[in-house]
Amino acid sequence: MRRGVLFWLVAAIAAITLVTGCVQILFPAPILAVLSAGQSPAALHFFGLVGMFMALFGGALLHGLFAHQPNPVVVLWAGLQKFGAVAGVGIGVLHGIFAPLALLVTVFDFVSGVLILAYLPHARSLRRH
């Protein structure tokens, strides 16, 4: 099976999502501080939960990419998760929950979502062979 540049970009995005999700679970306070967000127990808890879902989607995407049989359904949902993250962080900035600096995260997530969904036809064609 030939793995091109797009495959490796999507794999890198999956790995980054997995690692940053784990960091967010373990260290929510410093990340929220950088984003100028509140540090209440509820905020820390829910930010950690968001990290858990990031880690799960990143791990699922890595698994789906490197599995014996590629899984286009996982690719689709991982791409959609990225657009959900763009919306969630964007709304958080609009409501003053996060500093505008958080919009850099949305740029990464938006580009990631586009690349992941661009890979979807490749994942589907690999599934058929």
pLDDT 10s digit of each residue in the chain, 129 long?
A: 578 999 999 999 999 999 999 999 999 999 999 988 999 999 999 999 999 999 999 999 999 999 988 789 999 999 999 999 999 999 999 999 999 999 999 999 999 999 999 999 988 887 665
Model's pTM, two decimal places? 0.90
Domain range summary for the chain, segments of one domain joined by +: 5-128
CB 52 within 8 A of CB 76: no
